Amino acid sequence: MDPATKRLPARDRILDTASELFYAHGIHAVGVDRLIAESGVAKATLYKHFPSKDDVVAAYLRRMDDSWRSQMRSAALAGGEDPREQLFGLFVALEQSAQTGTLGCAFINAAAEYHPGSTPHTITAEHKQTVRNWVRDLAATAGAADPDTLAFQLTLLIDGTLAATRVGDATAAAGAAKQAARAMIDAACPAHH
């Protein structure tokens, strides 16, 4: 562990380690002992901050939710002032992420590991709904006649792209999604002249 990491508060070290390990290996594949060893905290310290592994998982997913929504807002703003281009900006950013090797979706991965009704599954469902609501609001601002349907289509396209990047050519999947998104946004949101 580098000295800068050692200076982080224990809770942050635990969550940083959990984020790396859970994303790379899956949640169930990473035990508490490995989290303790790789974060450099004592067992008592981990349990002081997180009474159970499920608490670590919930904190990890909430942190990923904050991060993902922040990245989406940044991607939309990078698209410019036009809400249509902001929607498209999500797919430009997705393509850039695919090219840098950032693959997969922490939430899709978590949902695959947990049954409906479990805390991780519930947090995932809430995340997906929050993202869809945000995209719906942006679609409404962009002038979509049916913002609910466009938001559902675009978020399915994002999720499908994230899933596809785990098993195939990430750049090709993201490029195809960007092309499909352009067509869907143009069809659903009339251009303002």
DSSP symbol at 42: -
C-alpha separations of 20 from 35, 156, 167, 171, 192 in Å: 10, 25, 20, 22, 44
User: Domain limits of the chain?
Assistant: 1-51, 62-188
Query: Sign (positive/negative) of CA torsion 113, 115, 120, 123?
Result: positive
Task: Give me the residue label for tokens 């002249």.
Answer: 193
Concatenated DSSP letters for 49-77? H-SSHHHHHHHHHHHHHHHHHHHHHHHHH
Which regions in the chain score pLDDT beneath 50? Answer: none
Collapsed DSSP state (helix, strand, coil) of residue 191: coil
Determine the residue type at 101.
G
Question: Interior CA angle at 134 toward 131 and 137, to 5°?
Answer: 150
Task: Give this prediction's pTM.
Answer: 0.88
CATH class of 1-51: mainly alpha
Residue 189 contacts residue 139 (beta carbons within 8 Å): yes
What tens digit of pLDDT does each residue of 110-148 get?
Answer: 999 999 999 999 999 999 999 999 999 999 999 999 999
Task: Give me the residue label for tokens 């067992």.
Answer: 43
* Residue 42 token pair: 């004592």
pLDDT for 43: 95
CATH topology identical between 1-51 and 62-188: no
Tell me yes or no: is domain 62-188 CATH 3.40.50.150.
Answer: no
pLDDT for 6: 59
Of 113, 108, 124, which is closest to residue 163 (Cα–Cα)? Answer: 108
